[in-house]
Every structure is written in structure tokens, then in C-alpha cells.
Amino acid sequence: MDADMLTMSLTVFGVLFLSLSSGIWVGFSLFIVGFVGMVLFSSLPAGSNLASSVWATIEKWEYVALPLFILMGEILFRSGISEKLFKALVPWLYRLPGGLLLMNIVSCTLFAAVSGSSAATTATVGRITLAELDKLNYDKRLAMGSLAGAGTLGFLIPPSLIMIVYAILAEVSIGKMFMAGILPGLLLAGIYSTYIIYCGIRNPEIAPKAKENYTWTERFTALKDLVPTAILIAMVLGSIYGGIATPTEAAALGVFGSFIFAIINRRMNMKIILECLMGAIKTNAMIMLIVMGAGYLSRVMGFLGIPAAITSAITEMNLSPYTLMLMLGCVYIILGCLLDGFSIVVMTLPISLPMVTAAGFDPIWFGIYLILMVEVSQITPPVGFNLFVIQGLTDEPIMTIARYAFPFFFLMLLTTAILTVFPEIALYLPNLMVGK
């Protein structure tokens, strides 16, 4: 990298750091950095390029799925479906080592398959499980830590909002991205569950023995409360994988289904409808502001040649593919302490994607790798969203919750390492979707 390019790159990233550290909204920070970069280092008109960049970013039809999945999550958040999950799973889990601590893992896995959001999964499941586990005197460290870790499955198990954003920016199939997340998501949930069971065997006191005894008839009867979740999963994911609906159409089906179940559970009225709509508008506006700002910054950096220069510089280092991924992983862990997941994806993708594809990695596989790194950011202070959600539920200090979640931080890294060594875990199911 020559001296002029180095100066340009340091200036752009320096302005980015200053704007982010000043407390300005991430989306506005990205616009500011792009505008400054264009004015200082390019003769092209900064304003007209900003306008055309924003339009080129948001005019993609695929983004329509985003507010629909967000609205679906908002309805589910208020629909009472998490209470039904709890009732259905208690008879099956209470006798296992670790007992109802496994409830956080299983409930988050199932709810993630219909919500699309890490924060929504954590909040919805946590409202039920944390209170019940505290009432039964379960170990609060594992209760909060497992919820923080399992809540991140909302990003990895489809339908995932961040997968939609990645697929559009990386120009890969949303359906294939969704399918790629299934096995890694189940792998991560299985590793979490294995850890909980190990802790339960090593120290049975973390899970007090239940006084209730359930017959097999009661266990199978309780499964009826899983029906709403199963139907929604079938409606959303089944319609996509079966080729019946596009992701956008499947999102609309999910909104319809969740609305019907909310009515059946008597959790829907005009006040709740307005709350759902306002929640969806705010969340979608936040995400799209970041996406638009990142789109503009990406265009500016492309004009300036920064991504190509960085890619070339790293390529000249002759790093092995695994060393490259290790280096990127360290960078993403650091970024995760400072930024939210959507910002990490849209800001880094123009630089990281060309590097990993040049190293021979599949872009769909890299999407799952990146989402795992984003999941890590959800439980790393000081900007870990899941930590803030749990703090709102428990009033525990952020650093205390982060300490409880620390073992699950390492379990995520273990899962990422396994996925890197065995990429077919993520690619097996998408490869079955030839032509879809």
C-alpha cells in the first residue's frame, strides 16, 4: 500500500472512529465519514452521490422482507407463545442434568425459528424463564449466562434479519442463507446444552430436584402447546424451502400466522396492534439508516480504492486461509465490543468479502461465519445488546451479566472453529437447493 493510500485510509478510519466515539448514531456516522472522504479525496460531487447511493441501496425488493419479519417478531413478543413453549417443555426437561436450565437453550432455539431477532428472542424467552428459574432457586449465573448465549441464536437460526441484510449485500440467495444457518444453529444449541448437562452432572446443586412427577401421558399432552410454534416454522421456512414462496412472501405469511395466534391467545387489540407497528417501524428505521449509511460509505471507499488496496496488501502477506480467518475473527471480536451486529456486517463486508472469496471460501459459508462473530458481539461489553436486555429483566450490572455469559463466549468461538474446519456443516443443506 503506497503512502497516499495509507494516508487516505487512516484519515477515513480516523474520522469513523471519532464520529462513533462521539456518540453520534451509527447510521449518521457512516454518512459523515463517507461525505468527508468524498470531499477530501475525490473530485466527484459528494451530495449527488449520497442521494444516488441511498436510492440504489434501498430500492432492492428483498428489503421488503425485513419490516415484515420485524413485525412478525413484535407480534410474537406479545402473543403469549413463549408461555406455551415453557409449559410444553417443562415435563420433558425437568429430570435431565441441569434441569430447567436447558429451558433457555431449547426455548431460544424454537423461538429463534420464528422471530428473526436476537434481542427479541432473549427478551421474550427471558421474561418467562428467568422468573421461573429464580423462583425454583436455580443457579442464577447459569440462568442468565445461558439466556445471554442462547438468545444469540435469533441471528443464526432462520428466519434471521441479519441474514437478509448479508444476503442482499453479498448478492447471494436469501433462501440458501436461511438453509445454511440451520445445522450451525443446531450445532451451537447442542454445544450449549452439552455444557449445561455437564455442569449439572458436575454440580447437581445448580438445578434443584423438581418435586413434580409427570406421566408420559402428561408429557405428550403438553406437546400440544408447541403446535403454534411448529405451524409458524412450517409456514415461514417450509414455504421458502418448498419453493412455494419467496422470503418476502413467507414473511407476510408469518405476520398473518402470528396475528391469528395472538388473537387465539386473546393477546391482540388495537393498543397492541399500534405497539407492534411502532416497534416494527422504529427497529426497521434503525436498521435501514445503518444500511443506507454503510451503502454510501462503501461506495465512497470503492471510489477511493480503499477496499482493493487493503485486500491487495493482505493478499501480499501470503497468509494461509485459516490464518486469514483467525485474523478476521480477532478483528470482529474487537469490533463487537464497540458496535452492534448490523453495523459490523454492513461496514466490514466490502473489505472482508473479497478477501475471503479470494482465499477460496464460499460467500454463503462466510455469511454464517460472520453471523457467529456478530453473535459474539451480542454478549461482549460494553455494547452487547443481549446484556442490556437481560439487565432490563433483572437489574443486574452489565459487567456481572457479561461475566456470567463468559463461558458461552468461548462456546461460540469453539463452534466457529468447528465450522471453519468443517465448512460443509453450513454448506450441506444449501447445496441441496440447486436452482432455488
Instruction: Report pLDDT for 53.
Output: 84
Kindly give the parts of the chain with pLDDT less than 50: 435-436
Instruction: Report pLDDT for 411.
Output: 96
Secondary structure of the chain as H, E, C letters: CCHHHHHHHHHHHHHHHHHHHCCCCHHHHHHHHHHHHHHHHCCCCHHHHHHHHHHHHHCCHHHHHHHHHHHHHHHHHCCCHHHHHHHHHHHHHCCCCCHHHHHHHHHHHHHHHHHCCHHHHHHHHHHHHHHHHHHCCCCHHHHHHHHHHHHCHHHHCCCCHHHHHHHHHHCCCHHHHHHHCHHHHHHHHHHHHHHHHHHHHHCHHHCCCCCCCCCHHHHHHHHHHHHHHHHHHHHHHHHHHCCCCCHHHHHHHHHHHHHHHHHHCCCCCHHHHHHHHHHHHHHHHHHHHHHHHHHHHHHHHHHHCHHHHHHHHHHCCCCCHHHHHHHHHHHHHHHHCCCCHHHHHHHHHHHHHHHHHHCCCCHHHHHHHHHHHHHHHCCCCCCCHHHHHHHHHHCCCHHHHHHHHHHHHHHHHHHHHHHHHCCHHHHCCHHHCCCC
Instruction: Report pLDDT for 278.
Output: 92
Q: Whole-model pTM above 0.85?
A: no
Instruction: Report pLDDT for 1.
Output: 59
Instruction: Report pLDDT for 436.
Output: 47
Instruction: Report pLDDT for 433.
Output: 66
Domain range summary for the chain, segments of one domain joined by +:
30-432
